[in-house]
Structure 1
Amino acid sequence: MSDNAVLAELRGQLGVITLNRPSALNALSLSMIREITAALLRWRDDDDVTAVLLRGAGRDGKAPAFCAGGDIRFFHQAALAGDPTLEDFFTEEYSLNHLIHTYGKPTVVLMDGITMGGGMGLAQGCSLRVVTEHSKLAMPETNIGLFPDVGGGWFLARCPGHLGEYLALTGHALGAADAIGAGLADVFMPSAELPVLVESLTDQPMENGAQALAAVRARARPVGAARLAAQRDAIDRHFAAASTVDIATSLAADRSAWAVDTLKALRQRSPLMLAVTLEQVRRACTMSLADELRMERGLVRHCFHLRPGAASETVEGIRALAVDKDHQPRWQPGAIESVDAAMVEAFFASPWPAHAHPLRDLR
């Protein structure tokens, strides 16, 4: 990791955090999480800072990215090596997610380009979430044998209807209009106008953070039609089913091209982690954010320790997608129908008593 992977600067009354790892699509490392956290804590108690803006550094001649997620190659290496900093990564990342949700000062995020996984964890707690024509929002963790963490269970559970279950299980990527329709973004703005937006926010004096939010909203543009709107009835019908087996059965009975493609996508994911993910989102519906993050912290530990090393579904998923890149994960069990309730329940047993939980202080 090179220096300056996070640029934190005070410009006028605006704190600006730029994720500056463009060659890796601004994916998060532990050091980046620590730098973002330090900047936010510093500015939270600084009366000269009225609002904070988060953005990703661009790539010359290439499509932008806010943040593609966590550094999954690090996860793979650390899990196989028994590196204890893997534990620190998730504890500190989830603490940062909670900090943003509860920050107390207005926060604006520019989700220009890829915003997935850990990038969604940074973005979804912000006061105002801006999308552009380049935006691609997703929680694709089931594709690597993981679950939608970083508060994903909490914010996906609050999407309309059963859209959250659909997004959690399939990892479907949303464009700007669909993201706004799902409640995962607030306003649309052309990508080319973002630099001018930032300059205007840094140049004008602001009596309070509400003025910054109003200035962003004043530049919002109409967004196009939501593509998923045509599938919403089908999504709510199929993904309301009680289990992943029932969802698969329901989709199999629907001969539409969308249902066929959706079932095909699910069959490529880890069957075990699909079932864990569905249970996570369903439980999150009635949980506070702090409790949901505590649940996720236990889940992610189990992802790497219930079956340690190469036996982990997550390690195998990352191997297939990002290390060997053979795209042939060897899931265990290999079919949705082969997952039993005991396998799923084991993930929800907390590894720690409440007084020793690494996120016990979240409120």
Structure 2
Amino acid sequence: MICQMTQKLILYENDPSVKLVILKANGKAFCTGGDLISVIASSIAGHWSFTIPFYKKLLTLNYLIATYKQPVVSLINGAVMGAGAGLSMNTTFRIVTEKAVFAMPEASIGLFPDVGASYFLSRLPGHFGEYLGLTGRRLNGAEMVECGLATHFVPSKKLDLLKNALQSITTSDKSTIAAVINKFTEVAFLKEESPLTRLDTINKCFSKGTVEEIVLSLEKEIEVNGAVEWITDALSYVRTSCPSSLKIWLRSVREGRVQSIEQCLCRDYNIGSHFILRTVSNDFYEGTRAKLFDKDKKPMWDPSKLELVSEEIVNQYLRMVENENWERLQLPHRSNIPSKL
């Protein structure tokens, strides 16, 4: 699928008759982890000829979409997580419906939010990107628009009409495309319990320097204000997720805030390769075993606690892999480099 998408996008980009590209799922979801099953099964069997090239091709596709010459319109009418977020969140227009659900829950399976997440999540208001990656919080369509992950909210019943209108456009002018989308756009209202209505508290807690300090800050909020659901949910996720993954994400999103999409994807490749090759820890395999295969939901993380994950362990994940069969990610030169999300 990745190879086919890449081939088509390269073909369309060099076709003067193509004015925009519509990206949508063939079903209810862009991606919800199906690729992980193949990666883990192949890796356990020793088929590195599949896993590492797969990851490299995926990140290269993310880069192609993020730097695409023509506008790309994502139609999100269901779940968009993991690899699907990398495909859709780097597009020009990101249209969601009332059925949209976004999340980056990789830390719960011993991985980390990758596919450019340190680029597009770090550019959300305040420290909301840290919050999403450290808590795996699910957002609905209204929340995605409010925080900037999505550009427009269109009811699902209008999607076919919108798609037909987009297909009739004869220009790549972004303002013209936006004007067409705006005709179908409606206002989406946040629910009172949405974490986005507590952004001041999120910024206060998730701006701390370490994951341990973030946890302490959240615990103090509970002491002062009582057990608020979004905080108890956040703490529950952090306490059961992979400690190394959480610390890697905090470092990654902080660095990504001042880096290009290319730099973020190259870092993702280094970190992801360490997880796949098990050069530092077996956490990725243990997490997927506990959550996706055996489903006992009792992963044995190594290290097992946040305080045991040293700065040096995090640094090991960020370094290039030392393996004669490993190739570094070399993204092609692209002229259309995005300045921000």
TM-score by length of 2: 0.90
Residue number in structure 2 paired with 1:52? 21
Indicate whether 1:241 and 2:208 are aligned: yes
Residue 328 of structure 1 aligns with an amino acid whose one-letter code is K
User: Residues 287 and 299 of structure 2 are in contact (CA less than 8 Å); yes or no, is this contact kept in structure 1?
Assistant: yes
Indicate whether 1:299 and 2:271 are aligned: yes
Residue number in structure 1 paired with 2:247? 275
User: Residues 69 and 119 of structure 1 are in contact (CA less than 8 Å); yes or no, is this contact kept in structure 2?
Assistant: no
User: Residues 126 and 203 of structure 2 are in contact (CA less than 8 Å); yes or no, is this contact kept in structure 1?
Assistant: yes
- 1:2-59: CA deviation from partner (whole Å, max 9, x where unpaired): xxxxxxxxxxxxxxxxxxxxxxxxxxxxxx111111110000000111110011123x
Query: Distance in 2 between the 1:188 and 1:130 partners?
Result: 6
User: Residues 127 and 207 of structure 2 are in contact (CA less than 8 Å); yes or no, is this contact kept in structure 1?
Assistant: yes
Measured after TM superposition, the shift of residue 306 of structure 1 is 3.9
Residue 263 of structure 1 aligns with an amino acid whose one-letter code is L
Residue 310 of structure 2 aligns with an amino acid whose one-letter code is D
Indicate whether 1:337 and 2:307 are aligned: yes
Measured after TM superposition, the shift of residue 292 of structure 1 is 1.1
In structure 1, stretches of 5+ residues that fail to align are 1-31, 59-63
Higher relative contact order (CA 8 A, sep 6+): 2
Measured after TM superposition, the shift of residue 69 of structure 1 is 4.6
**SS of aligned partner of 1:115:** strand
Q: How does 1:1-363 map to 2 (within 5 A)?
A: 32-58=1-27, 64-69=28-33, 71-84=35-48, 85-202=50-167, 204-210=168-174, 211-225=176-190, 227-255=194-222, 256-257=227-228, 258-307=230-279, 312-351=282-321, 357-362=328-333
- Runs (4 or more) in structure 1 with deviation over 3 Å come to 207-213, 360-363
Query: Distance in 2 between the 1:271 and 1:362 partners?
Result: 36
- CA 1:93–1:319 in 2, change beyond 3 Å: closer, same or farther? same
Query: Distance in 2 between the 1:294 and 1:98 partners?
Result: 10
In structure 2, stretches of 5+ residues that fail to align are 335-341
CA root-mean-square deviation = 1.8
User: Residues 316 and 330 of structure 1 are in contact (CA less than 8 Å); yes or no, is this contact kept in structure 2?
Assistant: yes
User: Residues 98 and 362 of structure 1 are in contact (CA less than 8 Å); yes or no, is this contact kept in structure 2?
Assistant: no
Measured after TM superposition, the shift of residue 70 of structure 1 is 5.4
- CA 1:345–1:50 in 2, change beyond 3 Å: closer, same or farther? same
Residue 31 of structure 2 aligns with an amino acid whose one-letter code is C
- CA 1:362–1:94 in 2, change beyond 3 Å: closer, same or farther? farther
**SS of aligned partner of 1:358:** coil
Q: Percent same amino acid at aligned positions?
A: 33
Query: Distance in 1 between the 2:332 and 2:159 partners?
Result: 37
Measured after TM superposition, the shift of residue 330 of structure 1 is 1.0
**SS of aligned partner of 1:231:** helix
Query: Distance in 2 between the 1:273 and 1:218 partners?
Result: 42
Query: Distance in 1 between the 2:157 and 2:296 partners?
Result: 37
User: Residues 66 and 110 of structure 1 are in contact (CA less than 8 Å); yes or no, is this contact kept in structure 2?
Assistant: no
Query: Distance in 1 between the 2:2 and 2:331 partners?
Result: 19
Query: Distance in 1 between the 2:5 and 2:209 partners?
Result: 39
